[in-house]
Structure 1
Amino acid sequence: MNGNTFETPGLKSMLAADSLSLVNVIDQLRSQGKSSVLEAISGIPFPTKDSLCTRFATELVLRRTREVHIGVSIVPSHDRTKEQCEQLGKFKELLQTFDDLPKLIDKAKEAMGLTTATSAFSNDVLRVEISGPGRPHLTIVDLPGLIHSENKLQTASDVELVQSMIRSYMAHKRTVILAVVSAKNDYANQIVLKLAKEADPKGLRALDIITKPDTLPEGSDSEDAFISLAKNEDVEFRLGWHVLKNRNYEMRYCSLVERDEAEAQFFNTGA
């Protein structure tokens, strides 16, 4: 599975619909490759800094048109005041190149008030609308990572806010759930799989993805465990498992073509 194709039969049938949303969900364990999954599917180079934590929902709206257009705006949450909604509604930017996207995301954080220590997450939505020839009619939603418990930086309210946001998106029947687990951590401890099964008990909407396969020591028990998982032998999902090797820090300046080539080489020579 690379940035230009969707080859799974289940996803093909769902993509035949006029409107579809992919929800990208993962446990909040740093550097798990969630934004890289979004990049691999859409072909859009999203920021993938190791220190970057998604703190609000980002809707990537793709549409097929004759002319190329890249627009960024903020959709205020329902708990905002009228004045706040008006102020956030003024946040509208046009991009000439995707290189400007990281700076715009930082500006959006500031507009949402996420630059202070007391504001960890927001219910506001950053909407990135991209249209042009060859684009699919598809919306991909990148959500904050699941938080297991509160700590010095994240309160109990933050834990509840993020889980409520994720459950809300996952509940929509026309949403495809991308449940992402990282090979860097024991998948038994990553509660995203439990939430995916709760939201989609029949397994009709959940696509499960393993990232960071290149971090597994060759011949190790952990490698064997994730190979079994990828074969749908341990935690079984109706649409099966998919494995992505995305760009790591050393490859951060590589093009998407180089990313796809490196991924293909890894799977051709791996376990």
Structure 2
Amino acid sequence: MGDKAQTEDGFAKAVSVLQSSDHGQLLDVIDQLRALGIDRHVPLPQLVVCGDQSSGKSSVLEAVSGVRFPTKDKLCTRFATELILRRSISPSVDIKIRPSHDRPDDEKAKLLAFEAPSDDIHQFPRLVEAAKEVIGIDADAKRFSEDVLRVELSGPHQPHLTLVDFPGLFHSGNKQQSSDEAKLVKSLVQLYMQNERSIILAVVSAMNDYANQIVTDIARKFDPKASVRWALLLSLIH
């Protein structure tokens, strides 16, 4: 508990600098463009949070956002989630699904019509499960998706911050996940990393050998000197 409390305090201080009204207005415009799909053509700024499976990424995301991400199994994240935090007088939650551009028109319409079963952010794991069902995630067939869950969370104590969560990276297939799925997850993470305006937060577990963690190799590919676009966070918690 002590390590977790220290982590949360550290992140609270780190994001406190992101509170100016000008910064918030700029991010609002950026997110309006992202919602329209402009980021497919023009790179938009974002904080990309990624790591191998069981790296402690969910704990980091909770510390940053205050949102409790699902952790009931090792494959709790099945698609990219854009979490948009904004400071406002009144609290509000807006949840949508942005379909992959490869989806047929009828499937796109179904996903765009998605209505969350609740607007209570404390029920976030339940909201994610509802999105999984609509997207078509199946434990025996389709385990990952290129669709994006977009969650906009506003309130008087929120920082101005936009971050993206991903499924955890893994080396190869097994009984629970295939080699093709490993490639899909890797390509999804790389798609966001290659955006020159993405800041990459690579979460690595202190419980595993640093050299064996996929995320650091991928991050180096896009910023070999680790001097500008990515930061390494050592996680002591899961």
Contact persistence 1:25–1:177 (CA under 8 A): yes
Q: Distance in 2 between matches of 1:189 and 1:81?
A: 38
1:22 maps onto 2:47 in alignment: yes
Q: Cα deviation per residue 1:185-232 (whole Å; 9 max; x = unaligned)?
A: 1111002111111112342121111112xxxxxxxxxxxxxxxxxxxx
Report the TM-score when normalising by structure 2: 0.79
* Residue 81 (structure 2) aligns with: 58
- Structure 1 unmatched runs, 5+: 213-245, 249-271
Report if aligned partners of 1:71, 1:92 keep a CA contact under 8 Å in 2.
Answer: no
Secondary structure at 1:100's aligned position in 2? helix
Equivalent in the alignment of 1:106: 129
CA distance in 1, matches of 2:74, 2:50: 18
AA aligned to 2:172 is S
Task: Give yes or no for contact 2:16–2:159 (8 Å, CA) kept in 1.
Answer: no
Residues 76 and 96 of structure 1, relative CA distance in 2, 3 Å threshold: closer
Return closer, same or farther for 1:204/1:56 CA change in 2, 3 Å cut-off.
same
State the number of aligned residues: 209
Distance 2:73 2:143 in 1: 18
The one-character-per-residue Cα deviations of 1:53-105 (angstroms, maximum 9, x if unpaired) are: 31111110112222211121111111111000001111132744322111111
2:36 alignment partner in structure 1: none
User: Alignment partner of 2:189: what SS?
Assistant: helix
Structure 2 CA distance, aligned partners of 1:153 and 1:51? Answer: 10
Counterpart contact for 1:123–1:165, Cα < 8 Å: yes
Matches within 5 A, 1:1-271: 2=8, 3-6=11-14, 18-19=26-27, 20-28=45-53, 31-93=54-116, 95-202=118-225, 203-212=227-236, 246=237
Identical pairs, percent: 47
Superposition deviation, residue 38 in structure 1: 0.7
Following TM superposition, by how much is the alpha carbon of 1:175 offset from its aligned partner in structure 2, in angstroms?
Answer: 1.2
Query: Contact 2:117 / 2:127 at 8 angstroms: preserved in 1?
Result: no
* CA distance in 2: counterparts of 1:114 and 1:131, whole angstroms: 28
Change (3 A) 1:37 1:98: same
Deviating beyond 3 angstroms after TM superposition, the runs of 4 or more aligned structure 1 residues are 15-20
Alpha-carbon distance between aligned partners in 2 of 1:52 and 1:146, rounded to the nearest angstrom: 10
Partner of 1:259: none
The structural deviation recorded for 1:135 is: 2.4
What's the C-alpha RMSD, in Å, of the aligned pairs? 2.5
Match of 1:231 in 2: none
Supply the distance in 1 between the matched residues of 2:15 and 2:159 (Cα, whole angstroms).
14
Go from structure 1 to structure 2 and tell me whether the alpha carbon gap of 1:90 and 1:16 turns closer, same or farther (over 3 Å shift).
closer
Q: Distance in 1 between matches of 2:95 and 2:15?
A: 29
1:118-162 deviations in Å (ceiling 9; x for gaps): 101100111111012242332111111112112233223212211
The answer on whether the counterparts of 1:70 and 1:94 sit within 8 Å (CA) in structure 2 is no
Q: Distance in 1 between matches of 2:71 and 2:202?
A: 18
Give distance in 2, aligned partners of 1:188 and 1:160. Answer: 19
Which SS does the other structure have where 1:101 is aligned?
Answer: helix
CA offset digits 1:207-266 (Å, max 9, x no partner): 111112xxxxxxxxxxxxxxxxxxxxxxxxxxxxxxxxx4x6xxxxxxxxxxxxxxxxxx
CA contact (8 A) 2:15 2:159 kept: no
Alpha-carbon contact 2:67-2:124 (below 8 Å) kept: no
Q: Give, in whole Å, the separation in 1 of the partners of 2:94 and 2:108.
A: 19
Following the alignment from structure 2 to structure 1, what is the Cα–Cα distance between the partners of residues 46 and 195?
A: 9
* 8 Å contact kept, 1:4–1:43: no
Higher RCO (CA 8 Å, separation ≥ 6 residues): 2
